[in-house]
Structure 1
Amino acid sequence: MNKQSILNLPVKDLDKSRAFFAALGFAFDPRFSGDNAAYMHIVDGAIQAMLTTEPFFQSLIDKPVANAREGNEIVICLSCDSREEVDSLIAGAAAAGGRIPHRPEEHGFM
């Protein structure tokens, strides 16, 4: 059985979120994307994210959608092959409008 992990993430502005992640080099699958969601490949064949508009996300759950401006609901870590790749990814996120809340740290193998 082929297993995948699909993270469903609520976003306030789907077009802006899609542009942000595209600027970081992530690809989207139009077959599973539309007005309410964008299917993003993180690790092809293994990990994907479904960026969903908040109203659509709300239709999937029975609790309020967390307000990311007031608290964190999730922390997603992406592995990189080198410190240079980490620095490049962070620089790209900042250039695309992302906020960097914590400076990168060196943890040897991590």
Structure 2
Amino acid sequence: MPTMIFVNLPVTDLERAKAFYSALGFGINQQFTDDKAACIVISDTIFAMIVTKPYFETFSPKTIADTSTSVAAINALSRDSKEEVDAIADKALTSGGLQTNEPQDLGFMYSRSFQDPDGNMWEAMWMDPGHVE
């Protein structure tokens, strides 16, 4: 079985968060979804567990980061082209997300960053495969 990643993200409004991630084109695995959390399917091996803050607080004795003033992580997702980077970032911005930084175009790499309605940060990026070789 391939290694999978499950990124757990605290959210204040589960239905709003589900609508946001669905608008980005991601699915929801109903088997792992209830009134406290939802499993967002990003790919066959990447998932975001969006979790209500009260339930998220049971996961750790640490305080949940205030994403309106600080960042705990930036979750980066590769895309197959610059156009796909723009497409997902544009969907994020029209679905309640906020732009985090200006787009970066380094020629061989292109990225755009945004945050979901709860301030969780994401970056979509494309890298020229020829440059990596």
TM-score (normalizing by structure 2): 0.78
RMSD over aligned Cα atoms: 1.1
- Structure with the largest fraction of strand: 2
1:100 matched to 2:124: no
Deviation at 1:3, TM superposition (A): 2.6
Identity level (%): 37
Q: d(CA) in 1 for partners of 2:43 and 2:78?
A: 10
Q: d(CA) in 1 for partners of 2:85 and 2:53?
A: 29
Q: d(CA) in 1 for partners of 2:30 and 2:84?
A: 27
Deviations along 1:74-109, whole A, 9 cap, x unmatched? 101111111111111111111001100212111314
Equivalence map 1:15-54=2 (5 Å): 15-44=15-44, 46-54=45-53
Q: Output the amino acid matched with 1:79.
A: S
TM-score (normalizing by structure 1): 0.93
Deviation at 1:2, TM superposition (A): 4.1
Q: d(CA) in 2 for partners of 1:97 and 1:27?
A: 18
Structure 2: stretches of 5+ with no match in the other structure: 110-126, 128-133
Aligned to 2:120: none
Deviations along 1:44-101, whole A, 9 cap, x unmatched? 1x11111000010000101111110010011011111111111111111110011002
Aligned to 2:74: 75
Q: Output the amino acid matched with 1:54.
A: K
Runs (4+) of structure 1 exceeding 3 A deviation are none
Q: Match of 1:97, SS?
A: coil
Q: Match of 1:76, SS?
A: strand
Name which structure has the greater RCO, CA cutoff 8 Å, separation 6+: 1
